Structures are given as C-alpha cells and as structure tokens.
Amino acid sequence: MDAYTPQLPDEDNLYEHHAFTVDKGQTPLRIDKYLMNFVENATRNKIQAAAKNGSIFVNDVPVKSNYKVKPFDAIRVLFTHPPFENLLVGEDIDIDVVYEDDDLLVVNKQPGMVVHPGHGNYSGTLINALIHRFDNLPNNSSERPGLVHRIDKDTSGLLVVAKTEEAMAHLSLQFANKTSEREYVAIVWGNVKEDSGTVEGNIGRHPKNRLQNTVFFGDDEDKGKPAVTHYSVLERLGYVTLLSCKLETGRTHQIRVHMKHIGHTLFNDERYGGEKVLKGTTFTKYKQFVDNCFKVLPRQALHAKTLGFVHPRTGEFMRFDSEIPEDMQQCIEKWKVYSKHQEL
C-alpha cells in the first residue's frame, strides 16, 4: 500500500489527514477494520464516527463504516480542521543539549519523548521544545523544523538538529550518502550465534499492519527500500544478548525490523512482539524475573549511543557519545546477575 499525507484543504474546505491506495492483493474487508491497522492510535469507535460524519471517502465518494475495501481503492480520511501536526506550538520543555553552536545542536533525547507531532501526539514533542527555544528553524523535506533525522518515541539517544538552511542541506546529504556515523546499543532476545554480522533486507510497510515495517525479499523486494545494519556482540547474557548496531541506512524501525527478521527481536519491543518471553525456561520464577526486567525497562531496549558527522561549516568530523540510560542499564545488570547464576 502506498501512502501520502497532503496538507492542503480540498475544494470543500476539508483537510486530508490520511490517504491510502489499497494493495492489489487485498481481500474484501470492512473499512473500519481495515483502517484500524493503518491509522496509529485509532479506535473502531473513532473510525465509525468519522464514517458517520461523512469524513471517510473511497474513490472520492463518502462511505459508511461497513463498506468493504477492494484492491486499488483510493481511501481518504478528511476533517474540517488541519492535521494537528501542522499546528506547531512552542512549549517550554527541558531537553538535554549536549552540544550547540550557530549551525546546529546535538540533543540526547529521553525515552518516551516523541520527536515530531503526529497522530495521537500533538504536544510534548522535541519539535515543540525546539520551536519554543529557536526562531526560524529550517524545514526539512517533510516540513518539520530542524529535523535532520529521527528516532522512535521509546528509543533514547542522540539526534542532530539543524539551525540554518545550509546546515540542513549539508547534514541531510551526509545521512543520504551514508557518511554519517550512527551506533546503537540494543538488548535482543536470544543468544546471537555469530560475534558479528550484517543484515541486508529491503524494509517497507507491513502489508497487513501499517504500524509495523517488515523485510521484503525475493519477488517482493521492490516493495521495500534497501537497508543495511551491521551488528556485533558486546556481551552474552544467557537468554538475551547485548549488541552494538551500526546503521548504514536509516529506515523507519530499521534495527527493530532487522533484528526480528534474524530471529532476535528487541527486548520488550511491544510493537514487534518483544514484550513476550521469547527465549528461556518455562519456570514461573523465570517469568517473574523477566516481568521485573520489563518493569525496570518499560520500552524497547534501544539507545542511540554514538553520532558522528562532518560539521557543515568547519568541515571538522565531530563524534558524540552518550551514556546508556539508567532504565536500560538496570535491565542489563539484572541479566548479568541472572546469567552468572545460571552458569553456576
């Protein structure tokens, strides 16, 4: 399924919030059920209410919630107000700035902070904090002020933000040309067999659940974009492994998708099934131990630890490193103690 999000109102003064073209292989399915897999934070009641209000269109005709989607249907969800992510408001939110000059700043994002406003998250984001702090940040190609790249809400770690048009263009090119340096630390389920390796697999939207991405290969390879992740084992902790992951490309959820693809889903990654006990024993005490780890680290175990790039004005290569956050460190320590006990 292809998706786009135009921001201009149509002739009836309605604004497009979502637009999808249905895949050719789609079997008939009620549109309310269909949209629940493709609109983040949507409930069936909300979708049914939108249909009742005449806000859901298929091939430019308003439909009811029981309409069954067919291959190649053009679905549009419209409302009388612009998308909230277009109504950016500055907010006085503390952010951890580890470096700043006239051209850029590097932020160590805390887990739980959304990078940019989107469906269900219209305030409290990094962009809200940035536009409160700075005037006239340059927009990227998605009209998002200052953002050169992004990391997921529940991923912690380093981001570079451009303060000028020149910095935005220069830094964006580095990320596109794969000359930036990005290293993540992750806890994954299972004992990773090789000490190091590379995952190559085109990544695109999951055909049945738009909130997930997946790896496409073989005849379906062209449904995704090329993605390469290099990994190496930092420590083996019994039923989980601590990894260093270096990105050659920067696809959405790349590490999360690639690790699941090779059978090592990120620890406590709810969206990709890592919140279940995927490896280990059947003993109740073990399950209690894992549940305690989930409580200590209530998010996917992923931290953007190192970020390197060439400064857009000085030409100097700059590298920044960050500490593994406390919640993730506590989880690692618990597994260290557990794995030593198991060896005894």
Active site residue 152: yes
Q: How far is CA 298 from the centre of its chain?
A: 16
d(CA 71, CA 1): 10
For residue range 188-225, what is the model confidence (pLDDT) as tens digits?
A: 999 999 999 999 999 998 888 878 899 998 888 988 99
- The answer to whether 64 touches 2, Cβ cutoff 8 Å, is no
Provide the total of helices (H) and of strands (E) in the chain, helices listed first: 7, 18
Identified catalytic residue from 32, 73, 94, 152: 152
In terms of Cβ atoms closer than 10 Å to its own Cβ (0-12, 13-18, 19+), residue 196 is: exposed
State residue 40's pLDDT score: 63
What element of type H or E holds 199? strand 196-200
State residue 268's pLDDT score: 98
Instruction: Return the axis-axis angle of helices 326-343 and 284-296, rounded to nearest 10°.
Output: 160
Task: Give every CB contact of residue 250 below 8 A, 6+ residues apart in sequence.
Answer: 149, 175, 182
State residue 6's pLDDT score: 36
| Alpha-carbon torsion (57, 60, 66, 67), positive or negative | negative
Strands 213-216 and 74-79, sheet pairing: unpaired
List the beta bridge partners of residue 58.
61, 75
Q: Which residues of the chain have pLDDT under 70?
A: 1-17, 40-42, 79-87, 118-122, 343-344
State residue 9's pLDDT score: 35
pLDDT > 90 fraction of the chain, expressed in percent and rounded = 63
DSSP codes joined into one string, 21-79: E--TTPPPEEHHHHHHTTSTT--HHHHHHHHHTT-EEETTEE--TTPEE-TT-EEEEEE
Strands 56-58 and 74-79, sheet pairing: antiparallel
State residue 21's pLDDT score: 85
For residue range 221-259, what is the model confidence (pLDDT) as tens digits?
A: 988 999 999 999 999 999 999 999 999 998 989 999 999
State residue 139's pLDDT score: 86
d(CA 163, CA 135): 9
